[in-house]
Amino acid sequence: MLFPTGHRGAATPAPVVPSTGRLQPLGLDQVRITGGPWARRQEVNAAATLAHIEHWLEREGWLGNFDLAAAGGPAAGRRGREFSDSEVYKLLEAMAWELGRRPDADLEHRFGAMVRRVAAAQEPDGYLGTRFGRPGQEPRYTDLEWGHELYCQGHLYQAAAARARTGRPGDLLVEVARRSADHVCATFGPDGNQGICGHAEVEVGLAELGRALGEPRYLAQAALFLDRRGHGVLADIEFGRSYYQDDVPVRDAEVFHGHAVRANYLAAGAVDVAVETGDEKLLDAVAGQWARTQARRTYLTGGQGSHHQDEAFGDDWVLPPDRAYSETCASVGSVMVSWRLLLARGGAQYADAIERALTNVVATSPAHDGRSFFYANTLHQRVPAEHVATDEVSKRAEASLRAPWFEVACCPPNVARTFASVAAYVATVDDGGVQLHQYAPAEIRATLPSGEQVALDVVTGYPDDGRVEVHVVDAPSGDWTLTLRVPSWSPSARVRVDDGSDRVVGPGFVEVPGPRSGAVVTLDLDAAPRFVVPDPHIDAVRGCVAVQRGPQVLCLESVDLDEGDGVDDVVVDASVPPWEVDGTVYVRAGILGASDGGWPYAATDDAAPRPRPELRDVPLVAYHDWANRGPATMRVWLPAL
């Protein structure tokens, strides 16, 4: 069943608005983050990051590529990689969400000017792309493996959906996207080109544009792309067809595999198609893959992908911290998948995963000033970062200091669009009431499916503080339920309502029956720092502990050690739990003696026991804060004495 009439909420200003599902999203007009780290990140994003990205797109000529294409002449002078158009579209999406969050005349003006440059490059038949089809370029769609033409147009659709839903349904960007999508449907339809794109994205883009514009053809085309993939449609390549998930149909796969960004984007599109077509088997398949991927192929930070070579998932349990690729965009993609599964099925594990990835990967990427970024997010930096100049493009994705821009610059605008729309992940509604998934100081002004209004104010010092107060400003008139997530990192929690109810609950969703207007619901989570240990199958961190405080993974940075001591020599006394003083978490740790410099493998009877090192109190920092104090080494997993 494609788009049943009367589908709900198509105009909700949120990135994902399914026509059906267990939970309904709220738009940026219904949830506003008013303080705390996420509000600060949104401010920096608006004040610095958007303009920073625009500057680099201009400087590197990726915006100019549209002007060249519009001029219609030969392709000489086009700059950047084959997918550079997509960075423009992701910036447009970020701007659209930011404008939806808070009007800004200057930003609106820059947005409009950029859209006009994009629109001028669109071909009469709707095709949009600066890399193929002009004089001096290969013809369109002649390199589906690596050309990224459909990928780029998919990002255009997500941007247009954002624009349509933030109050501009007839906007030029929306019309450009509509013409492009019509062209794609005409070209790749049931009787057309039977190809797919080497990088999934057009599926999720078509689905969302179809939802936003009420156009079932777009969703049908997304379903068609999805069904084609996995049958060896694309060429075999050095990394194998698994790289772009063309080795096995998405409904038959057991786990996310291949290129981690591609895998997550594909899975997100598969959930969209499954939800809209009522395909429960497909939804089961993706949910099963998600669970296995979380259990066996995900870092403690929520990061995914341990292969640098092909930016890919490793086999089960291959999670070396010092070779973590954990691309920022893979975690943006994992949030896309988890959020869609949460809307489709409910399930606190999805909200847990979103919190983990947002807090520890997506928020780790940008520097505090929002003007440089990690592309890869290692969990163990063994060599102090080289200096990355603030005005140079980084060739190396795994630069150990954040870089202002990359030859492959997917991550900065992906962070920007996620931050600008992050309020959308805070809460949902269903027939019974409101569900709070992520905690931040916030104002929630939601309309329930019944039409009744709910107004909640969230007051909290989260995540440093585990207390969350929900002030019920306006309750619905009848029975309703306030559902709160107790994160999996909190072994237990206490829920009190000021009418006297008081319970201790475990992780998962806890339901608070119909608090009245004026009531205050207090959730006390256990955010004390604690050691975590890995499943023994994760060979690379055997014998280590990590420290987590609430949702935040902590790490040890060499700037907090004595001069000359390195994180590679640290061992911790795991019998002394981590403790907190004035907001800083400490562990008891020592420095191992240096290696003797000989062959590093010894027969057990020859291996001299090492003297127990002298122990001291060593401070940790939040992983998302690391590398903001200059070049340093760092590790998340700490060897236990």
Of residues 531, 586, 623, 626, which one binds its own copies by CB under 8 A? 531
103/392 Cα distance (integer angstroms) = 32
Q: How many CB atoms lie within 10 A of CB 582?
A: 4
51, 57 in Cβ contact below 8 A?
no
| Region of 19-27, 38-46, 160-168, 288-296 interacting with its own copies (CB under 8 A) | 288-296
296 in contact with its own copies (CB under 8 A) = yes
606 in contact with its own copies (CB under 8 A) = yes
Of residues 451, 595, 611, 614, which one binds its own copies by CB under 8 A? 595
| Cα distances (angstroms) measured from residue 139 to each of 194, 557, 582 | 17, 50, 62
In angstroms, what is the minimal distance from the CB of 247 to its own copies?
11
568 in contact with its own copies (CB under 8 A) = yes
Of residues 135, 479, 604, 614, which one binds its own copies by CB under 8 A? 604
Q: Which two tokens stand for residue 41?
A: 């990140």
Secondary structure (DSSP) of 430-490: ETTEEEE-S-SSEEEEEE-TTS-EEEEEEEE-TTTS-EEEEEEEE--SS--EEEEEE-TTS
| Region of 38-46, 49-57, 131-139, 300-308 interacting with its own copies (CB under 8 A) | 300-308
Of the candidates 259, 250, 140, 141, the residue with the CA atom closest to the CA atom of residue 197 = 141
When the beta carbons of 247 and 279 are compared against its own copies, the nearer one is 247
When the beta carbons of 333 and 639 are compared against its own copies, the nearer one is 639
Of residues 583, 598, 611, 614, which one binds its own copies by CB under 8 A? 598
531, 547 in Cβ contact below 8 A?
yes
In angstroms, what is the minimal distance from the CB of 373 to its own copies?
17
Of residues 141, 157, 489, 586, which one binds its own copies by CB under 8 A? 489
User: Using CB under 8 A, which residues numbered 17 to 46 contact its own copies?
Assistant: none
When the beta carbons of 277 and 293 are compared against its own copies, the nearer one is 293
User: Using CB under 8 A, which residues numbered 575 to 594 contact its own copies?
Assistant: 592
Quote the distance between the C-alpha of residue 170 and its chain's center: 29
SS3 230: coil
Of residues 73, 77, 278, 491, which one binds its own copies by CB under 8 A? 491
Q: Which two tokens stand for residue 444?
A: 């929630």
Of residues 352, 355, 557, 560, which one binds its own copies by CB under 8 A? 352
Site mask for its own copies (CB under 8 A), range 455-484, x = bound: ------------------------------
Of residues 332, 541, 561, 620, which one binds its own copies by CB under 8 A? 541
313 in contact with its own copies (CB under 8 A) = no
When the beta carbons of 581 and 603 are compared against its own copies, the nearer one is 603
User: Using CB under 8 A, which residues numbered 379 to 398 contact its own copies?
Assistant: 380, 382-383, 395-396
Of the candidates 142, 144, 118, the residue with the CA atom closest to the CA atom of residue 130 = 118
236 in contact with its own copies (CB under 8 A) = yes
Quote the distance between the C-alpha of residue 527 and its chain's center: 23
504 in contact with its own copies (CB under 8 A) = no
442, 495 in Cβ contact below 8 A?
no
> 587: which strand partners?
618
What crossing angle do the helices spanning 50-59 and 411-420 adopt, rounded to 10°? 150
When the beta carbons of 458 and 538 are compared against its own copies, the nearer one is 538
Secondary structure (DSSP) of 232-292: S-SPP-TT-GGGGT-SS-TTT-SS--SBHHHHHHHHHHHHHHHHHHT-HHHHHHHHHHHHH
525 in contact with its own copies (CB under 8 A) = no
When the beta carbons of 419 and 626 are compared against its own copies, the nearer one is 626
540 in contact with its own copies (CB under 8 A) = yes
Residues in the chain: 641
599 in contact with its own copies (CB under 8 A) = yes
412/393 Cα distance (integer angstroms) = 13
Sheet holding 493-497, edge to edge: 31-33, 442-447, 453-460, 467-474, 520-525, 493-497, 502-505
623 in contact with its own copies (CB under 8 A) = no
When the beta carbons of 70 and 408 are compared against its own copies, the nearer one is 408
288, 254 in Cβ contact below 8 A?
yes
SS3 627: coil
Q: Which two tokens stand for residue 382?
A: 């063994």
Of residues 212, 544, 589, 634, which one binds its own copies by CB under 8 A? 544
Of residues 58, 138, 315, 617, which one binds its own copies by CB under 8 A? 315
199/81 Cα distance (integer angstroms) = 14
Of residues 105, 504, 581, 607, which one binds its own copies by CB under 8 A? 607
100 in contact with its own copies (CB under 8 A) = no
313, 256 in Cβ contact below 8 A?
yes
How many residues line the site for its own copies (CB under 8 A)?
74
Q: Which two tokens stand for residue 173?
A: 């960007």
In angstroms, what is the minimal distance from the CB of 617 to its own copies?
19
546 in contact with its own copies (CB under 8 A) = yes
Question: CA 81, 85, 86, 87 torsion: positive or negative?
Answer: positive
When the beta carbons of 277 and 552 are compared against its own copies, the nearer one is 552
CA torsion, ordered 37, 38, 39, 42, to nearest 10 deg: 120
Of residues 160, 267, 300, 444, which one binds its own copies by CB under 8 A? 300
| Cα distances (angstroms) measured from residue 17 to each of 25, 156, 165, 232, 570 | 7, 17, 10, 32, 48
User: Using CB under 8 A, which residues numbered 71 to 90 contact its own copies?
Assistant: none
Of residues 239, 248, 452, 464, which one binds its own copies by CB under 8 A? 239
| Region of 171-179, 225-233, 291-299, 618-626 interacting with its own copies (CB under 8 A) | 291-299
Site mask for its own copies (CB under 8 A), range 393-432, x = bound: --xx----------x-------------------------
316 in contact with its own copies (CB under 8 A) = yes
| Region of 16-24, 116-124, 474-482, 535-543 interacting with its own copies (CB under 8 A) | 535-543
When the beta carbons of 312 and 329 are compared against its own copies, the nearer one is 312
636, 301 in Cβ contact below 8 A?
yes
In angstroms, what is the minimal distance from the CB of 567 to its own copies?
11
Of residues 207, 253, 545, 634, which one binds its own copies by CB under 8 A? 545
512/338 Cα distance (integer angstroms) = 24
